[in-house]
Amino acid sequence: MKNSLRQSMAWLHTWSGLLLGWLLLAMFVTGTSAYFREEISLWMEPELHASHATPETPELAWQALNRLAPDARAWDIRLPDARAPVVELGWQPDTPEAQNEGRRRGERAIMDAATGEILTPRATRGGDFLYRFHFELYGVPRLWARWLVCVATMFMLVAIISGVITHKKIFKDFFTFRPGKGQRSWLDAHNATAVLALPFHFMITYSGLLLFMVMLMPWGIDAAYNGDRRAFFDDAFPRATETTAQSQEAAPMTDIAPLLAQTRRAFDQPVTRIEVNRPNRAGATVSISTDREPEITGRRRGSAPTLVFQANSGALLETRPGTSEALPAAVRFYNLFANLHLARFADPAVRWLFFLSGLGGCAMVATGLLLWVAKRTQQLKQRQPGASLRLVNALNMASMTGLIGAMAFYFAANRLLPVELAQRESWEIRVFFISWLLSLAHALWRPNRRGWIEQLAGITVLWLSVPLLDMATTGSHLFSATAWQHGALAGFDLACLLLGALWGYALWRVARHGGGKKGTARQPRRSPGTATGAAS
Amino acid sequence: MSRSASSRLFYYRLSVASRTVAAVLGGYALSAASTAALAVTLPMPRAEAVVSATVFSFLVYSGAVIWAFATHSALRAWLGIAAPTVVCVAVALLGAPS
């Protein structure tokens, strides 16, 4: 402490990093997967894979809702887009119970976009489980979990800033790589992955805190609004209020096709969403929206170009061009970070870039944790490692290979558990946690090089077998036309093969170079070379 | 280990513990107080002032944590966090809408 700023920052960086590193790594890994949350969910619902959009899709959806819920209070049709090949039908039943529950989400059904058939996918939480885990964990009271995650995120922000101060020669360090030198190699790999994506790391950490700022830091609102949070939200993030016609008198609606064509022409974009208020009654309205150019400082939802029609006559009531609203600078700043964190604006190429940056983040946290062990292993000389070093090594193993293995088990369970199984979606999640716990038990039993080799071999086999399992159990595997029609499906299997190969490479490095002397930055997630010499 | 060395180690640990409390709890108090103070004093519409103050608060927290561990003594760590907190609380109370 009485030392220089750099030394005290190095101390702070080491200890804040170690204490929350494991939780941060789990957040980074599952959060990185969340960039492809919808793609993962689609892969995990093979019953939806045959669906594909046709020119008749909107009319099929219209007919389906007329069949399912002709006198609902409202309809909501989400048409297929680049990420989802099915139609999502939503409706609010017009019963007193549904009204009383206020902003309830109403009923939902998935429709095959080509045939109009209602689909029932297997029960699964899909990519949403991994996505939710990255900010609310699982089975922990939601508020506690969010606070815990935010504390870890705050530590990360401090670790980033103190890390930058520690490395005043940050760019020189970045271009320094000394492979095969044990601890030095891990340090270089940690620096390289940290600096390479430093803007991303800062952005993802800071924006993560901003997304929860009302929970974390309500004191500004309380001071300026005397604790009236609703008034603050109405001021800062106003919502469009909907006007609702209240007529109950039945009246037929006009043909939807010309209205769709008119909207398409008006904005020169395909229609993505149809909302109907008081369908099949006098005074019904239909709002037809198209895609819009995403705006990075804009609001997260709404403001898509929309035409509003009188649904009985087909008369145009209102044109909402969906142009940018004049938002205050502070709100635009908040929106910018929120949109960056959620990658809402991202087209596929940018999404992959974010995914790779996320992997860089995983690698940064992982190499940092491995460096902690490598440094202390080197100081041991020939002595046996103590209990705390073995414990850290075991926790490293469970948080790296253990979590990666658990994810593969989660995907495999999706294909192997019987479709009719009761509480099926919970069983998928149980498989995930049971396999993670088993890997922890194995790591505590063998917190050494052999343990690493066994776990690496395990995850290599697991990840490589997921696409094979897909081939054995579905018709939308790598060698099917369906998988390539929806690139997400082929992409998922290919990503499994690539990651499996990566784990195999890490295994080869550890097994071949043994003795815990080697490591390299070329393995994005981690290669436990040095971390393992401890007790071998 | 000599007696003076072991008592030095004890004081070192005490100092680390004290700085940690200053950083974690003191840092939060400072960022909460500064957010409240800025929210009522920034010369912009109320909602904007609140959002600006809140998005700034996490940088204040980081700064406070770094200060707590970077400064020469635990006492300075506490003073450097407590004094601006008191000022911010006063500003927030004076500027609060009645």
A533 pLDDT higher than 60: no
Three-state DSSP at A308 gives strand
Contact indicator for A379, A356 with CB cutoff of 8 Å: no
Q: What is the pLDDT, as a whole number, of residue A146?
A: 95
pLDDT digits (tens, 9 = 90+) for A246-262: 667 888 888 889 999 99
Question: Mean of the pLDDT values across residues A179-186?
Answer: 70
Q: What is the pLDDT, as a whole number, of residue A9?
A: 77
ipTM of the prediction: 0.89
Q: Angle CA(A259)–CA(A260)–CA(A265) in degrees, nearest 5?
A: 100
Q: What is the pLDDT, as a whole number, of residue A529?
A: 39
Q: What is the pLDDT, as a whole number, of residue A323?
A: 64
Q: Give A-chain residues touching B62 at CB under 8 angstroms.
A: 154, 157-158, 161
A293 pLDDT higher than 90: no
Chain A residue nearest residue B51, CA to CA: A330
Query: In sequence order, what are the residues at sequence separation of 6 or more whose Cβ sits closer than 8 angstroms to the Cβ of residue A173?
Result: A167, A188, A191, A195
For A158, the closest of B65, B92, B96 (CB atoms) is B65
- Residue B20 identity (one-letter amino acid): T
Contact indicator for A289, A270 with CB cutoff of 8 Å: no
Tokens 């996505």 belong to: A131
Question: Mean of the pLDDT values across residues A294-303?
Answer: 66
Contact indicator for A429, A129 with CB cutoff of 8 Å: yes
Q: d(Cα A509, Cα A519) in Å, to the nearest integer? A: 8
| pLDDT grade for B98, boundaries at 50, 70 and 90 | low
Token representation of residue A514: 């043994």
A218 pLDDT higher than 80: yes
The angle that helices A449-473 and A403-416 make with each other, rounded to 10 degrees, is: 20
Question: Mean of the pLDDT values across residues B29-38?
Answer: 96
pLDDT digits (tens, 9 = 90+) for A89-120: 999 887 766 555 555 568 899 999 999 999 99
Contact indicator for A374, A527 with CB cutoff of 8 Å: no
Token representation of residue A375: 């440094």
- Residue A413 identity (one-letter amino acid): A
Q: d(Cα A48, Cα A56) in Å, to the nearest integer? A: 18
Q: Is B16 touching A (CB cutoff 8 A)?
A: yes
Q: What is the pLDDT, as a whole number, of residue A237?
A: 78
**How far separated are the first and last CA of chain B, in Å rounded?**
62
Domain spans in chain A, listed from the N-terminal domain onward = 5-45+127-212+342-535, 52-121+240-320
Q: What is the pLDDT, as a whole number, of residue A94?
A: 78
Find which of A154-168, A186-200, A377-391, A483-497 is predicted with most confidence, using mean pLDDT: A483-497
Q: d(Cα A535, Cα A531) in Å, to the nearest integer? A: 10
More confident residue, A79 or A525: A79
* Cβ–Cβ below 8 Å for B66 and A331: no
B12 pLDDT higher than 50: yes
Q: What is the pLDDT, as a whole number, of residue A490?
A: 93
Query: In sequence order, what are the residues at sequence separation of 6 or more whose Cβ sits closer than 8 angstroms to the Cβ of residue A338?
Result: A207, A210, A211, A300
Q: Angle CA(A447)–CA(A151)–CA(A386) in degrees, nearest 5?
A: 25
Distance from CA of B40 to the nearest CA of A (A): 5
Token representation of residue A243: 């006007």
Q: d(Cα A211, Cα A299) in Å, to the nearest integer? A: 13
* Cβ–Cβ below 8 Å for A12 and B44: no
Chain B residue nearest residue A158, CA to CA: B62
Q: What is the pLDDT, as a whole number, of residue A221?
A: 92
Contact indicator for A343, A35 with CB cutoff of 8 Å: yes
> How many Cα atoms sit within 13 Å of A76 on the Cβ side?
10
| pLDDT grade for A536, boundaries at 50, 70 and 90 | very low
pLDDT digits (tens, 9 = 90+) for A470-524: 999 998 889 988 888 888 999 999 999 999 999 999 999 988 875 443 333 334 4
Question: Mean of the pLDDT values across residues A333-360?
Answer: 89
Distance from CA of A194 to the nearest CA of B (A): 18
* Cβ–Cβ below 8 Å for B37 and A331: no
* Cβ–Cβ below 8 Å for B66 and A154: no
Tokens 């271009």 belong to: A175
pLDDT digits (tens, 9 = 90+) for A130-152: 999 999 999 899 999 999 999 99
Q: What is the pLDDT, as a whole number, of residue A31?
A: 96
pLDDT digits (tens, 9 = 90+) for B34-48: 999 999 999 999 999
Burial class of A145 by CB neighbour count within 10 A (0 to 12, 13 to 18, 19+): middle
Mean pLDDT lowest among A159-163, A319-323, A357-361, B89-93: A319-323
Token representation of residue B10: 């004890």
Q: What is the pLDDT, as a whole number, of residue A249?
A: 81
A455 pLDDT higher than 70: yes
Query: In sequence order, what are the residues at sequence separation of 6 or more whose Cβ sits closer than 8 angstroms to the Cβ of residue A258?
Result: A314
Q: Is B22 touching A (CB cutoff 8 A)?
A: no
Tokens 């983040």 belong to: A361
| pLDDT grade for A394, boundaries at 50, 70 and 90 | very high
A69 pLDDT higher than 70: yes
Token representation of residue B57: 């608060």
For A8, the closest of B31, B32, B70 (CB atoms) is B70
DSSP alpha helix (H) spans, A382-423? 387-397, 403-416
Tell how strand A107-111 and strand A316-320 pair up: unpaired
Distance from CA of B82 to the nearest CA of A (A): 17
Domain count along chain B = 1
What is each CA distance from A36 to A31, A124, A475, B48, in whole angstroms? 10, 16, 21, 33
Distance from CA of A144 to the nearest CA of B (A): 17
A186 pLDDT higher than 70: yes
A21 pLDDT higher than 80: yes
Q: Is B49 touching A (CB cutoff 8 A)?
A: yes
Q: Is A331 touching B (CB cutoff 8 A)?
A: yes
Q: Is B85 touching A (CB cutoff 8 A)?
A: no
Question: Mean of the pLDDT values across residues A336-348?
Answer: 87
Contact indicator for B81, B22 with CB cutoff of 8 Å: yes
Range of B53's domain? Answer: 3-95
- DSSP per-residue string spanning A11-77: HHHHHHHHHHHHHHHHHHHHHHHGGGHHHHHHHT-GGGTT----TTHHHHHHHHHHHH-TT-SEEEE
Q: d(Cα B33, Cα A241) in Å, to the nearest integer? A: 35
Q: d(Cα A414, Cα A431) in Å, to the nearest integer? A: 10
Query: In sequence order, what are the residues at sequence separation of 6 or more whose Cβ sits closer than 8 angstroms to the Cβ of residue A521?
Result: A177, A179, A185, A188, A189, A192, A193, A367
Spatial strand order of the sheet with A271-277 comes to: A118-119, A107-111, A87-92, A74-78, A271-277, A285-290, A306-310, A316-320
- Cβ-Cβ pairs closer than 8 A, A with B, add up to 114
Find which of A265-274, A412-421, A505-514 is predicted with most confidence, using mean pLDDT: A412-421
- Mean pLDDT, chain A, whole residue set: 85
Find which of A7-11, A81-85, A349-353, A409-413 is predicted with most confidence, using mean pLDDT: A409-413
Q: What are phi and psi of A78, to 5 degrees?
A: -105, 115
Mean pLDDT lowest among A126-140, A184-198, A362-376, A411-425: A184-198
